[in-house]
Structure 1
Amino acid sequence: MGTERRSKRAAVSRGLWLPGALLILVTLYPMVRLVWTSFQGSGGGFSVAAYQAVIGHPLWGQAWRNTGIVMGASTILAVVVGTAGAILTERTDLPGKRGLRLLFLMPMFIPSYVLSIAWLQWAGAEGLLKALSFYSFALSWLDGGLGGICVVMGASHVPVVYLLVAAALHAVPGDYGRAARISGAGPWKAFLTAELPLLMPAVASSALISAAGAMDNFGIPAFLGIPQNVVVLATFLYQLAIGLGPGAFRQAAALATLMAMLAVLLVLIQGLGRRIARYRLTGPSSPKLPLPLGRGKIPAVFGLGVWLVLTAVGPFVALLLTSVTPAYGVPLTWENVTVEHYLAVWSAIPAVLTGFWNSLSLSIPTALLVLFLARPIGKALARGSAPAARGLDILGVIPYVLPGMVIALAVLLTYWRPWPGLDLAVSGWVLLFAAYLARFFTLGVRVWVAAWARVAPELEEAARISGASEGKTLRYIMFPLLRRDVMGGVLLIAMFAFTELTVSSLLAGADGMTIGMALFNLESGGYTLESAALGTILTVVSAGAAALMMKNPASGAIYGERGMSDDIDPHRRVAQKAVGGSEPPFNADGSVRG
């Protein structure tokens, strides 16, 4: 038995060399090169001059102060609204829960930089909210700057908090609240004393994710902050990286290293938080009755409605209305509605069409190659058969948890001119492709881990015992069961890569223009109506892709939902029939039996 287990581990380990080589090339080596560059002096020796120059930069203090304000304010806003929304829609008798859930998740379907443009048309100096009589003294602080950045950043992170807290609410056993009710506590007191404390790890984890996302985000502070001279770390790094002064790259590398250290610290804190306040099911859990809102139902609906209109419905309506306005500043009427701006972005602005094709040609190969290379790692993690896979998984997570600007700079420093002494530069398309592989590799691993965990290992073992090779087993047995997971993963990764802006802001050259950079250039160049039209198109495309992923029965594995019932998931029936047993190979909670 021990010899057979060792032979299986050796076989799995042999399949890890290719993804391991890729991770070394696009993650480990660029990060080492980034740190080394930050400690290089003008003469090539060891020096801390770059760090001294960055710390002494006039924007140093402002960037850190503004970043701290944005991280703190947006995180508090996201945690309060996301947690309250999850509790109200998942645990109370609030009406219209289905529609409220969709509206809470709506900002997640829209790229953050598109949400920024929509916010300018909604709450900006010429936005729809300006028509309100109390705008000048009550809402003018939302017009860009730190106020607008904090609100838009918080709104973009509310879906993350909402999903994590909602999942935790469903995971908390109902026995705790039932025991509190038996002891004489009312419904709300039982929830506050028995269930709410168990949500704190999920709340803390979502807060750290929101804070890290606020430091990483480039699109929101670029659109709302740069026009008003508000600098955060992401835009400060961007200005250093594109600067032409002496030692600009070394200073950018120094700042990127400091940002990476802060991101790693947040991840370590999040990892420690996962070990606190764990709970386990000791048997069948009692059903949870909805918490009665009573007289608070109307105020709860009103409060949620105001927030959702302010941050989800209103900005999109403003973006749509701006895109069909004949000219900026002209009142919109039924008679002058036009679609000429939608036609102009494709016919009169070549950069948009170039960016579209570049993004498409980058996103699809990235998704396919990531899933191809991540398969052996995901399988080893799901089966627990190769310790080396855990190390590669950690290496793959690093580019995703670090700010995207840091990864972009690391790839740029490493591969822009990889051959010393030769005046030969790598194209922006190739640099973007390498950065995308590093950035989204961990998503491919997560897709495969969830997919393999949904299929009984006995099915694969039966095929191998029958003489089928590993290739035939994967092609004829496993892939038909996993194809929906794979297609959902392709769509997920491709959409992230297609709408990406942070990495492409540094790496997109003349031959690497992406759709995100095309929109950024339109808005920066004053083409407000055209950028609104392109933003509306990206919103519809993103929402359509999200709808397809949510409709996919296998999407629960991707988004971390609990197991599905047999009537909508044929994997269990096929696996059960294949292994020839009457006992299903899955436990009641969706995990693999044994």
Structure 2
Amino acid sequence: MARGAVATGAEGSATLKWIAIIGLLLVVAIPCLFIVVQAIFPEFGSGSFAAPFSVFFKTLIDPDLFGLAGNTLLLGVGTMVCAAILAVPLAALRALFRVPGALIWDALLLIPFMIPPYIAALGWIMTLQPRGYLEQLTGIHLAPLLFSVTGIMLIMGLNTFSVVYFVLSRTFETIGARYSDVGRVFGAGQWRSFWRITLPLSMPGLAASLLLVFAMSIEEYGTPAALGRRIGFEVLVTGIENRISEWPIDLPGSATLSLVLVSMALVAFMLQRWLLTRRDYRIVGGKPQAFDKKELGVWTLPVSLLFAFVAFLATGLPILAILATALSRTISGGLKPSNLGLDHFSELLGAGSEGLVALGNSLVLGTTTALLAGLLGAITAYSVVKGRGRFRIVLDALSITPNSLPGVVVAVGIILAWNQPWLPITPYNTPFILLLAYICILLPQPVRYATASLHQLGDNLEASARVCGSGPLKAFVRIVFPLILPSMVTAMILVFAVASRELVASLLVAPVGFQTIAVFIWQQFDQGSAGLGMAMAFCAVLITTLIPLALISLLRWASKGTVAGLR
């Protein structure tokens, strides 16, 4: 009887499947398709399929493309190296030794991931530029380093190394010191045992985290735009933005560059898979394992100072620079008590101010994106995990496609798809276009969270509901969705934090006169109002850090209260 109920439910769940199909077509498939079509048919916007591949091949053989692609690869690889240099030693020390204040260092090293990269870059500019805060305090400036390719890599490495640090520290903890101890028994020194045994065993975590850093680097717009353009260092992301925002607008060229950028990300994913399939990295068996960490001994103070130095560079310095700029009445006045005040915050948060409107727009868009992406992600994951037929593989592939699409590529696809003159109705030039872009960029997060939760649910709950007369849609709403809701809330909090500060899609597709937090900050710096822009940046950091942390804490408190009530 249960088996028949499951079969009936599978047929009835077609409604949820079609919701997932339509949602993914609108949000993901159509923008991707239009990028490919526009790259092949340059006159497609005029309703013509003439001269296919003419602009495509012209762009591919353009010398500028080789420069943009080479700079992009250089930036991605260089940022990976910087992130690895910072993260690997800290992760190994954190995982294998008793580091004083380890939890505090974890919290401080998490903050750089919560600070939008373009805001951190602006903070570094205010600190290291001529007559910046460093020169005011010490008499020297580091502008030659700041406005250089190496400087861009270092700043982006400081923004992204926490990804590698947290993944590797957990990986090293799983490996433990037992394998390196065996190597030392056979005569290897401590450093050689780590280099030849522990580090190679951590390759899955290292490859995955460095791949993520590479992907984040090649799709990052704010830092290369703020620093690279001053030294003529253009990358694919800024090249795509130039072709869209500067006259004459080159949509076919931007679509071709978008395909090149996506191809880079896909090659990186394939390289990761090749590296991980060459060897066996299994280290967890059925036997219990000891995870005792070693004492640092005489190295306690140097290690603590190392953590403090990196935490100051990655977290303390950018936040202090942001706050100092926000509190300075005039930039030329310098760091003097008479020049400090809350004037910019008063102007920003005053009734009817443009900043307050932009803040409200981002909060509304972030919340709406979190709710819609969470709902579509849950339905998509349900259709993939609980559905039947081969088409669910297509759904799964579509749901993870945005992982390989940089934000600028999504923006290009959205523009190409919804700015066609023959469309009777379009969300283009309305706030809804931003909503589509945000959902496309962030959809993989709730899908992955929901998929993990759904794999833990058996079919008997839904089968019982259907035996009692409930339809598949009602069973999903009343039974399945509440059970996966805790995981979905966590995913939606993450979506809210990222959507509230998203830069490149906001700059490219925001309607005329419509401002978000990121657009407001960027425009203030373009107009020379650095203090007002940094006041908004400080508010953005607080919003994208404190609100998610507060919601997660509230969720944990509620879950503990529920468990206590059941007891």
TM-score relative to the length of structure 1: 0.84
Contact in 2 for aligned 1:553/1:569 (Cα 8 Å): no
Letter of the 1:24 counterpart = L
Q: 2:543 aligns with which of 514, 537, 541?
A: 541
Post-superposition CA distance 1:101-153 (Å, at most 9, x none): 112111111111111111112222333222465845xx433323423321221
Mapped partners of 2:553, 2:187: distance in 1? 43
Alignment of 1:498-577 (within 5 A): 498-548=500-550, 550-551=552-553
Q: 1:123 aligns with which of 122, 125, 128?
A: 128
- Note the residue ranges of structure 2 that are not aligned, 5 or more in a row: none
Report the secondary structure of 1:439's partner residue.
helix
Identity of aligned residues (%): 22
Q: Which residue of 1 aligns with 2:36?
A: 35
- Residue 500 of structure 1: CA displacement? 0.6
Residue 159 of structure 2 corresponds to residue 156 of structure 1: yes
Q: 1:72 aligns with which of 70, 77, 88?
A: 77
Per the alignment, do residues 130 and 52 of structure 1 end up closer, same or farther by CA in structure 2, a change over 3 Å counting?
farther
Bigger Cα displacement from structure 2, 301-310 vs 522-531:
301-310
Q: Which residue of 2 aligns with 1:263?
A: 265
Contact in 2 for aligned 1:123/1:129 (Cα 8 Å): yes
Mapped partners of 2:351, 2:392: distance in 1? 49
Contact in 2 for aligned 1:79/1:206 (Cα 8 Å): no
Mapped partners of 2:405, 2:67: distance in 1? 21
Post-superposition CA distance 1:458-515 (Å, at most 9, x none): 5555555555554554455445544333332222212211111121121012154322
Contact in 2 for aligned 1:34/1:410 (Cα 8 Å): yes
- Residue 573 of structure 1: CA displacement? 11
Letter of the 1:254 counterpart = T
Contact in 2 for aligned 1:205/1:273 (Cα 8 Å): no
Per the alignment, do residues 56 and 283 of structure 1 end up closer, same or farther by CA in structure 2, a change over 3 Å counting?
closer
Report the secondary structure of 1:16's partner residue.
helix
Alignment of 1:233-244 (within 5 A): 233-244=236-247
Letter of the 1:219 counterpart = G
Q: Which residue of 2 aligns with 1:16?
A: 17
Mapped partners of 2:96, 2:459: distance in 1? 36
Alignment of 1:356-375 (within 5 A): 356-375=359-378
Contact in 1 for aligned 2:99/2:304 (Cα 8 Å): yes
Report the secondary structure of 2:443's partner residue.
helix
Post-superposition CA distance 1:423-465 (Å, at most 9, x none): 9883242222222222111112112123334556555555555
Residue 54 of structure 2 corresponds to residue 49 of structure 1: yes
Alignment of 1:375-454 (within 5 A): 375-381=378-384, 387-417=390-420, 419=422, 426-453=428-455
Mapped partners of 1:572, 1:132: distance in 2? 54
Mapped partners of 2:538, 2:271: distance in 1? 38
Per the alignment, do residues 119 and 189 of structure 1 end up closer, same or farther by CA in structure 2, a change over 3 Å counting?
same
Q: 2:290 aligns with which of 287, 292, 302?
A: 287
Mapped partners of 2:477, 2:556: distance in 1? 19
Contact in 2 for aligned 1:455/1:572 (Cα 8 Å): no
- Note the residue ranges of structure 1 that are not aligned, 5 or more in a row: 556-566, 578-594
Per the alignment, do residues 318 and 50 of structure 1 end up closer, same or farther by CA in structure 2, a change over 3 Å counting?
same
Mapped partners of 2:368, 2:491: distance in 1? 13
Q: Which residue of 1 aligns with 2:209?
A: 206
Residue 94 of structure 2 corresponds to residue 89 of structure 1: yes
Report the secondary structure of 1:503's partner residue.
helix
Mapped partners of 1:272, 1:344: distance in 2? 54
TM-score relative to the length of structure 2: 0.88
Residue 326 of structure 2 corresponds to residue 328 of structure 1: no
Contact in 1 for aligned 2:16/2:383 (Cα 8 Å): no
Mapped partners of 2:459, 2:88: distance in 1? 38
Per the alignment, do residues 449 and 126 of structure 1 end up closer, same or farther by CA in structure 2, a change over 3 Å counting?
farther
- Residue 536 of structure 1: CA displacement? 0.8
Letter of the 1:142 counterpart = L
Aligned length: 560
Residue 116 of structure 2 corresponds to residue 114 of structure 1: no
Mapped partners of 1:569, 1:478: distance in 2? 21
Bigger Cα displacement from structure 2, 34-43 vs 432-441:
34-43
Contact in 1 for aligned 2:497/2:545 (Cα 8 Å): no
Post-superposition CA distance 1:506-557 (Å, at most 9, x none): 10121543221111111111111111111111111111034235536669xx
Bigger Cα displacement from structure 2, 475-484 vs 235-244:
475-484
Q: Which residue of 2 aligns with 1:583?
A: none
Mapped partners of 1:381, 1:554: distance in 2? 28
Residue 498 of structure 2 corresponds to residue 496 of structure 1: yes
Per the alignment, do residues 573 and 76 of structure 1 end up closer, same or farther by CA in structure 2, a change over 3 Å counting?
farther
Per the alignment, do residues 49 and 388 of structure 1 end up closer, same or farther by CA in structure 2, a change over 3 Å counting?
closer
Q: Which residue of 2 aligns with 1:561?
A: none
Q: Which residue of 2 aligns with 1:305?
A: 308
Post-superposition CA distance 1:353-375 (Å, at most 9, x none): 34323323322222212222222
Mapped partners of 2:563, 2:20: distance in 1? 28
- Residue 569 of structure 1: CA displacement? 9.6
Give the aligned CA root-mean-square deviation in angstroms. Answer: 3.3
Mapped partners of 1:471, 1:41: distance in 2? 44
Per the alignment, do residues 178 and 148 of structure 1 end up closer, same or farther by CA in structure 2, a change over 3 Å counting?
closer
- Residue 191 of structure 1: CA displacement? 4.8
Letter of the 1:48 counterpart = F
Mapped partners of 2:529, 2:454: distance in 1? 48
